[in-house]
Amino acid sequence: MKHFSNARLPGALLLALISPAVIAQEPIDEIIVKADFRGRTVSELPASLSIIDATVIEEAAVQHFEELVNIVPNLSWSGDGHRARYFQIRGVGELEQYQGAPNPSVGFLIDDIDFSGIGTIATLFDIESIEVLRGSQGSRYGAKALGGLIYMRSTAPTTERSGRLQVTLGDDDALTIGAAFGGALNDEETTLFRLSAQKHESNGFRDNPWLGREDTNGRDETSVRFGLAFEPSDSIDGRLSLVYGRIDNGYDAFALDNSYTMLSDNPGKDAQESVAGSLRFDWDSVGAGALTSITSFATSDIEFSFDADWGNEESWAPVLYDYVSLSDRKRDTISQEFRYTVDQWLFGIYALNLSEDLATLNQGEYYDPGYDFADALDYPFDSEYESTNLAAFAQYDLELGDATRISAGMRAERRTTDYSDTDGFDASPSDTFWGGELSVSHDFNGDVTGFAALSRGYKAGGFNLGIVPDNWRFFEAEAMWAIETGIKSSLFGDTLRVNASLFHFWREDQQVRASFQLIPNDPASFGFATINIDGGRTYGAEADLRWLPTGELELYASAGLLRGGFPDTAEELPWLGGRDQAHAPRYTLAAGAVYRSANGFFARLDATARDAFYFDVSHDQRSQAYELVHARAGFEGEQWAVQIWGRNLMDEAYAVRGFYFGNEPPDFPATLYTRLGDPRQFGVTIERRFQ
């Protein structure tokens, strides 16, 4: 009954939103979708998406993108690391990556730089907007966006000189200092810049009494971003973006009793250091059309390690049981994209080269004096991987009268790979894909637009490592067909916006990644295998509402419903028959209210709710449904802003990841181990602004 009654809170807020009230003449600003080829508005784009602007980012979160996931319908994340890096949109996405080739299903871009699968550096200071495109983006972004795309954009430089200095103090010994400034570099105001930097530290909400420490899961996060906007001529706009992120977080998040008290004697790390940049040019007059060029690069060093037994010598006495796993990953990417637009046509080519070196070491020892049994592990593993993606795409947009628009897009992509490892395995699979979309939208009047779309997305095939059946060594590419229809409305003088959609998609040769424990008394000996299952179907609905009933009050609500996933019969993995996807709750709800007075006082309340979900495809263990409430209040003037905030006000204990296996000697009973999300936290943020 607890979860049922608490889950009514977002619903009650939603009812409040749609109750009769006097509508004020204070329109909501229209937003341009930066991830779209043509830069259309939300109402013009025939697709489901959520845009989180700078105001919401500042008011609804503290430090990282994972704090905003719950306000987006049908968006989830797998807590298989300290910070969110593995995302699921409508149940499509990865849960982890320990070995093998990177093959993400959800694209993640920061300032046109590809961080798909390694979005750990998604800190939020001085971020202008976050766009979440739900559903396959096969014609726009290709193989890495089967489930959708997350696009983060740093605050753009402006002509006015301005700056900000921000300090945050909070529970968990949290301390954050950030600064940003920018403006014009010349009198003609043709060269603009913005520089931001932030440093965040906290203990990570875990105690480790065995080591006498409170920071074994600590956070140490640094980000630096530089943007340069320039106009070499009247017809050319350029933008340079440079990104540096250093995330040096501890990883000590799983407890034997599923609490916040850790017993590990070798706590791990979840660290990422990235240096990246992008250079974009937009030429307005190239022949009869316009040309866009986007060049990007990124180099990332990633360390991921953990105490595989989650205990210490006292935990297992008289058994000796001690295992650790360490991985060092180095990923380099470089890409080039050209787009040419002329009349209704858009043509483009894209190239991406990705190389990744991985060094893994699993070590441990086991001795049970009761059975006089001993075992030891010292297994180093190195691999090298390189892939090249080449794509060509086109889009055609046609207006039929003043109210109807048709859009068609197509993308063809070729990926070649080369892989080798120290186990003597070599592979060079290649794939050719195609994807596309066909959509129609119609303005029923000046306030309501309807759309319908058919799309096909795709994802590359690959190979499995280690000990797997011969018929599982390689897996095929996946395709996903989807149909979607919806409405977008702007009512009462643009003070009320309601968007809603229905979708149904089916997957051909769906890739399913299952894990298994190779050695019963070795928690580091997990094997992973991806196989193909055909016939999976998913359907659902999404809706969001934003309302300004007065000039001082804003209300919002969103909801996502999701059903289906695996086919009724799955021969290779029979326990999945008819089951939902992992990390795909059947409902996601969010609602909130924001009050901003003319004298500078403001307050915000956010409530979210999530249904129970399966933790993995390898077992049928599920989470509990949960609800979270966050609040913020303060005063904002021209030069100063002071805010007090609280997250997870009800101190809800909720799981963001779960494993089901034997990890406790000497009998090693199968047990569900869960990682908890952050508990209640209070803090204060003070900001000084300069003009």
pLDDT mean over 182-192: 92
User: Is residue 5 over pLDDT 70?
Assistant: no
How many degrees, rounded to 5, is the angle at CA 572 between CA 567 and CA 576?
A: 40
Share of residues in the chain with pLDDT > 70 (%):
94
Residue 123: which of 303, 272, 268 has the closest Cα? 272
Instruction: Supply the pLDDT for residue 355.
Output: 97
CA distances from 353 to 114, 332, 390, 417, 466 (A): 11, 8, 9, 10, 26
User: Is residue 561 over pLDDT 70?
Assistant: yes
Cα 435 from Cα 75, distance rounded (Å): 23
Instruction: Supply the pLDDT for residue 23.
Output: 39
User: Is residue 4 over pLDDT 80?
Assistant: no
In this predicted model, which residue has the larger pLDDT, 373 or 589?
Answer: 589
Instruction: Supply the pLDDT for residue 525.
Output: 55
- Per residue in 29-75, pLDDT tens? 777 888 888 888 888 888 999 999 999 999 998 899 999 999 999 99
Is 337 in contact with 306 (CB distance < 8 Å)? no
pLDDT mean over 434-456: 94
- Per residue in 629-670, pLDDT tens? 999 999 999 899 999 999 999 999 999 999 998 999 998 999
Cα 85 from Cα 298, distance rounded (Å): 16
Query: Which residues, in sequence order, are bridge partners of residue 355?
Result: 332, 386
Q: What is the dihedral of CA 641, 110, 340, 441, to 10 degrees?
A: -70
Instruction: Supply the pLDDT for residue 36.
Output: 85
Confidence of residue 21 (pLDDT cuts 50, 70, 90): very low
Mean residue pLDDT across the chain: 91
User: Is residue 376 over pLDDT 80?
Assistant: yes
Cα 537 from Cα 483, distance rounded (Å): 12
Instruction: Supply the pLDDT for residue 26.
Output: 61
Determine the length of the chain: 691
Is 249 in contact with 269 (CB distance < 8 Å)? yes
Residue with tokens 């892939």: 387
Query: Which amino acid is it at 400?
Result: L
pLDDT mean over 542-547: 96
Instruction: Supply the pLDDT for residue 516.
Output: 62
| Predicted model pTM | 0.93
User: Is residue 274 over pLDDT 60?
Assistant: yes
- DSSP secondary structure code for residue 68 in this structure: G
Instruction: Supply the pLDDT for residue 102.
Output: 87
Instruction: Supply the pLDDT for residue 519.
Output: 59
Instruction: Supply the pLDDT for residue 442.
Output: 95
pLDDT mean over 670-683: 96
Q: How many other C-beta atoms can be found within 10 angstroms of the C-beta atom of residue 126?
A: 24
Instruction: Supply the pLDDT for residue 113.
Output: 96
- Per residue in 121-138, pLDDT tens? 999 999 999 999 999 998
Catalogue all structural domains in the chain, each as residue range(s) with its CATH number: 2-690 (2.40.170.20)
Query: Which amino acid is it at 413?
Result: E
Cα 497 from Cα 29, distance rounded (Å): 11
CA distances from 406 to 136, 162, 446 (A): 18, 43, 18
Query: Which residues, in sequence order, are bridge partners of residue 613?
Result: none
Instruction: Supply the pLDDT for residue 470.
Output: 77
- DSSP secondary structure code for residue 314 in this structure: H
pLDDT mean over 202-212: 97
User: Is residue 20 over pLDDT 60?
Assistant: no
Cα 598 from Cα 596, distance rounded (Å): 7
Instruction: Supply the pLDDT for residue 119.
Output: 86
pLDDT mean over 235-239: 95
Confidence of residue 473 (pLDDT cuts 50, 70, 90): confident
Instruction: Supply the pLDDT for residue 521.
Output: 59
Instruction: Supply the pLDDT for residue 236.
Output: 94
Confidence of residue 471 (pLDDT cuts 50, 70, 90): confident
User: Is residue 250 over pLDDT 80?
Assistant: yes
Residue with tokens 């403001």: 602
